[in-house]
Amino acid sequence: MIGYQHVELCLNEGYPTAPQVFHGEILEQTKALLKELHLDVPCLMVLMQLTADDREHATALEQIRLAARMALQLNPEKPPLLETVVGGRPALWEEQKTDMVRRLRDWAAAAEDAGVRIAIKAHVGSAVNSPERLLWMLEQVPSPALTAAYDFSHFELQGLDLEKTLLTTLPRTSFIHVKDTTGDEKKFRFLLPGEGRTDYVRYFQLLRQHKYEGPVCVEVSGQVFSQPGYDPLQAARSCWDALSAADAKARGQA
C-alpha cells in the first residue's frame, strides 16, 4: 500500500478499462480488488469532443451511456463522474462556442437520463482553455448533470495564476487533476507531480482554506507513460512522496 484513497479509470478506446472489454467478470473482480485496497473510484475519464460532426456526436452520446452503465455498476449509490475535455482550438472559440453549447445540452440530457454527472475540464489546447470559458459553458447549460474539473497544469502553461484560477472555478469544481509541466502553451510537456514548477504547498493550503473536500487525483499523461522505461509503480510512489510531503508542510503552515 502506498497511501492513495482514489483511482481514476480511463475508458478510452484501447485501454483495458474501455467499456467494450471491461465488463462482466473482470469488472466484478476489479470491484473486489478496489474494495480490498480501500480505493474509491470518483471519476472515469471519457474523452469526447463538442466540436465533433453529427456522427461523432452520436458516438459521444453512446459513450456517455456506456460509461454511465459502468459508473452505476461500480458504485450505484455514488456513481463516478465522467470527466472529459471538449476539443476545439483556442483561436476558434468564438466560431465554435455556439455549436459546442448546443451539443453540450445533448450531453447533459444523456447524463441526466443515465443518472450520472459529467465534469468538464479546460485544456491548454482546447477551445475551452480558461476558467472564464469553462464557466461560461456551464452557465449556458444549467443542468445538475454538469460540473467542472480543475487542472492547474493547463493554466500554468498559459502563465495564469494558481490562486486566481482555482478560486474562480472552485465553486463549480467536483474533481481535481494534478500533474506538472515544462514549457509554455506553444510547446510543452506534462510531468509527474513534483517534477515541475507547481507550488503544491500553496495549492494544498488554498484547498484547505476554501474547504474543498472532493478528490484530488494524479493524472499520468501519455507524454509520461509512453516513455521507454516508464515504471508505473515507481511513478505512483514518487507522486505520493512529493504530494504527501507538500500536504504535510501545508498543514503545518495553515
Cα first-last separation, the chain: 28
Tell me the three cell numbers of residue 137.
459553458
Residues 45, 10: contact at Cβ < 8 Å? yes
Q: What percent of the chain has pLDDT over 70?
A: 99
Distance CA 147, CA 171 (A): 10
**Which of the four pLDDT bands, split at 50, 70 and 90, describes residue 254?**
low
Longest Cα–Cα distance in the chain: 53
Tell me the three cell numbers of residue 242.
512529493
Helix (H, G, I), strand (E, B) or coil at 218: strand
Q: Are strands 81-84 and 118-121 parallel, antiparallel or unpaired?
A: parallel
Mean pLDDT of all residues in 173-189:
96
pLDDT at 126 over 70: yes
pLDDT for the residue numbered 252: 86
Q: Is the alpha carbon torsion for 42, 177, 186, 95 positive or negative?
A: positive
> What are phi and psi for residue 177, nearest 5 degrees?
-100, 140
Q: Is the alpha carbon torsion for 247, 248, 249, 252 positive or negative?
A: positive
Mean pLDDT of all residues in 211-240:
95
Q: Is the alpha carbon torsion for 56, 66, 21, 11 positive or negative?
A: positive
Q: pLDDT: is 254 or 187 the higher one?
A: 187
Dihedral angle at the C-alpha atoms of 146, 168, 236, 180, nearest 10 degrees? 130
pLDDT at 54 over 70: yes
Q: Is residue 138 within a helix (H) or strand (E), and if so which, with residue range?
A: helix 131-140
Mean pLDDT of all residues in 108-137:
98
Output DSSP code: residue 238.
Answer: H
pLDDT (tens digit, 9 = 90+) per residue, 110-121?
999 999 999 999
Domain range summary for the chain, segments of one domain joined by +: 9-253
Q: Are strands 81-84 and 9-10 parallel, antiparallel or unpaired?
A: unpaired
Q: What percent of the chain has pLDDT over 90?
A: 97
Distance CA 7, CA 163 (A): 26
In whole numbers, what is the pLDDT of the chain averaged over residues?
96
pLDDT at 140 over 90: yes
Picking from 77, 138, 133, the residue whose alpha carbon sits closest to that of residue 104 is 138
Residues whose CB falls within 8 Å of the CB of residue 77, separated by 6 or more in sequence, listed in order: none
Class of domain 9-253 (CATH, top level): alpha beta
Picking from 188, 179, 186, the residue whose alpha carbon sits closest to that of residue 217 is 179
In the chain the beta strands, taken as DSSP E runs, fall at: 9-10, 43-45, 81-84, 118-121, 146-151, 173-178, 180-183, 188-191, 216-218
pLDDT at 239 over 90: yes
Helix (H, G, I), strand (E, B) or coil at 250: helix
pLDDT at 1 over 80: no
| pTM score of the predicted model | 0.95
